[in-house]
């Protein structure tokens, strides 16, 4: 008789990571006829397939086998220089030597967590939070503290009080059009946060995957730019990515950081994956050299603005006062609320029957969930689908008896 096998004993850190509710919803998104407002992915119909296709068609593997070879951990030299030029357009003065190419900004988050956080160290995030950031900091066994946030972003006054009482190692912020709220942190709060970080020695982890997708209002300076101007640039680790402005499947992002943080992150990256994909780096570098990114950004901004307007208009028309939502100035998300007593998870259960899915907002809270909230992504929604989605949502809300 064979002995019953003991299940493998996994590391304790795995107990701190939960599967993302968004991923779990994807199976419903694939049901034929379903309209999904759930996925937080960029619009594939807005990818520059012509530009990318031309680069791929022009690849000459025989004369340049290096594109299939191992490459430097820090990233391709030419790509890092091109990223420095791109950053200058965002008001960030970075030397290529301080730019680490990563496998998306998600790897930047993981690297930052690994080099900064020992088990039990505190990190503050805004509430509600980007789910995969919660996962990355959970895997690092950090103590996660969430700060309230509103339409102007993280409540910096709350953070200041907290920092006066206890040691906090880092603060994670998405200042522009964050996921899930779409909110923009006000200039006043940005300044105050940078001042606070400089005074207390807390690291600011600035995640900026969406900033280039601004379609309304004037751009605000990044925390990195403000910190550099205030002489405390070393306090900030800045993360960004080509996922939302070019194509996420390439898995190319980057980190900007001080010399000492750079050395640590490069060391950690050696252990994780040696380097980011050589071929993807080559494609991104060639794309930047082609000069097509600027015009493509205009296409993306206009596309997302139209989709946002279509969804906001349809929600107002079909749901009226039954729903309230933010008006994001960029990015891909509307953060919405039903009436106080409504449970968005119940509405979702009826939504699945009526052919529409979204993410109930409670999924984005590490603590103190607000059950009447929901995240609606407009990135994949055409104006006609927006009308239909809002109508189905209204039916689901009625069926939930709310
Ligand atoms: C706030 C935020 N940060 C980081 C990422 C990760 O993006 P990527 O790893 O594709 O660059 C995402 C993706 O949705 C995001 O919403």
Ligand 1 near 351 CB (within 6 A): no
User: How do beta strands 373-377 and 359-360 pair?
Assistant: antiparallel
Instruction: Report the nearest atom of ligand 1 relative to the CA of 109.
Output: 4
The CB of 137 under 6 Å from ligand 1? The reply is no
Any atom of ligand 1 within 6 Å of the Cβ of 281: no
The pTM assigned to this predicted structure is 0.95
pLDDT per residue over 64-121, tens digit each? Answer: 888 999 999 999 999 999 999 999 999 999 999 999 999 999 999 999 999 999 999 9
Residue 357 has pLDDT above 80, yes or no: yes
Q: Is the pLDDT of residue 5 over 90?
A: no
Q: Which residue has the tokens 């709060």?
A: 189
Residue nearest to atom 16 of ligand 1 (CA): 179
Contacts of 144 (CB under 8 A, 6+ apart): 122, 123, 125, 134, 137, 138, 366
Distance (Å) from CA 88 to ligand 1 centroid: 21
Structure tokens of 17? Answer: 């990571």
**What DSSP character marks residue 214?**
B
Q: How far is the CA of 62 from the centre of ligand 1 (A)?
A: 34
Report, as an integer, the average pLDDT of 129-152: 95
What is the number of the ligand 1 atom nearest to the C-alpha of 242? Answer: 11
Q: Is the Cβ atom of 373 under 6 angstroms away from ligand 1?
A: no
Q: Is 253 in the pocket of ligand 1 (CB under 6 A)?
A: yes
Is the minimum distance from the CB of 106 to ligand 1 under 6 angstroms?
Answer: yes
Encoded tokens for 156: 């910096």
Average pLDDT over residues 367-394: 94
Contact 356, 321 (CB under 8 A): no
320 touches 393 (CB < 8 A): no
91 CA distance to ligand 1 middle (Å): 21
Please tell me whether residue 329 adopts helix, strand or coil conformation. coil
Tokens for 85, please give them. 């030029």
Q: Is 243 in the pocket of ligand 1 (CB under 6 A)?
A: yes
**Torsional sign, CA 315, 328, 249, 273:** negative
In 3D space, the residue among 35, 37, 39 whose CA is nearest the CA of residue 353 turns out to be 35
Distance between Cα 66 and ligand 1 center (Å): 28
326 token code pair:
């933010």
């Amino acid at each position: 008789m064979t002995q019953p096998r003991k299940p493998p004993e996994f590391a304790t850190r795995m107990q701190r990571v939960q599967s993302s509710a968004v991923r779990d919803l994807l199976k419903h998104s694939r049901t034929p006829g379903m309209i999904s407002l759930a996925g937080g992915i960029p619009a594939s119909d807005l990818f520059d397939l012509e530009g990318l296709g031309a680069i791929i068609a022009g690849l000459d593997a025989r004369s340049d086998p290096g594109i299939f070879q191992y490459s430097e951990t820090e990233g391709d030299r030419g790509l890092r220089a091109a990223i420095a030029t791109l950053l200058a357009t965002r008001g960030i003065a970075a030397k290529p030597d301080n730019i680490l190419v990563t496998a998306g900004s998600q790897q930047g988050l993981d690297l930052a967590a690994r080099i900064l956080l020992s088990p039990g160290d505190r990190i503050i995030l805004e509430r509600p939070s980007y789910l995969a950031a919660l996962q990355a900091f959970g895997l690092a066994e950090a103590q996660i503290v969430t700060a309230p946030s509103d339409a102007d972003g993280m409540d910096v006054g709350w953070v200041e009080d907290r920092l006066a009482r206890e040691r906090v190692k880092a603060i994670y912020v998405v200042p522009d059009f964050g996921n899930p709220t779409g909110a923009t942190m006000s200039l006043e709060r940005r300044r105050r946060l940078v001042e606070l970080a400089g005074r207390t020695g807390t690291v600011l982890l600035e995640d900026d995957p969406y900033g280039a997708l601004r379609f309304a209002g004037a751009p605000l300076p990044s925390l990195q730019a403000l910190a550099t101007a205030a002489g405390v640039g070393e306090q900030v680790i800045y993360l960004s990515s080509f996922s939302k402005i070019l194509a996420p499947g390439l898995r190319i992002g980057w980190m900007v950081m001080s010399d000492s943080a750079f050395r640590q992150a490069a060391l950690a990256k050696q252990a994780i994956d040696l380097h980011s994909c050589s071929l993807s780096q080559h494609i991104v570098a060639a794309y930047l050299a082609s000069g097509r990114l600027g015009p493509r950004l205009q296409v993306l901004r206009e596309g997302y603005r139209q989709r946002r307007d279509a969804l906001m208009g349809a929600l107002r028309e079909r749901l009226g006062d039954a729903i309230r939502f933010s008006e994001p100035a960029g990015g891909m998300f509307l953060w919405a609320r039903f009436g106080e007593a409504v449970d968005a998870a119940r509405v979702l259960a009826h939504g699945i029957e009526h052919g529409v899915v979204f993410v109930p907002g409670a999924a984005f809270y590490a603590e103190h969930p607000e059950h009447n909230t929901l995240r609606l992504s407009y990135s994949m929604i055409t104006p006609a689908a927006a009308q239909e989605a809002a109508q189905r949502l209204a039916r689901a809300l009625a069926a939930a008896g709310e």
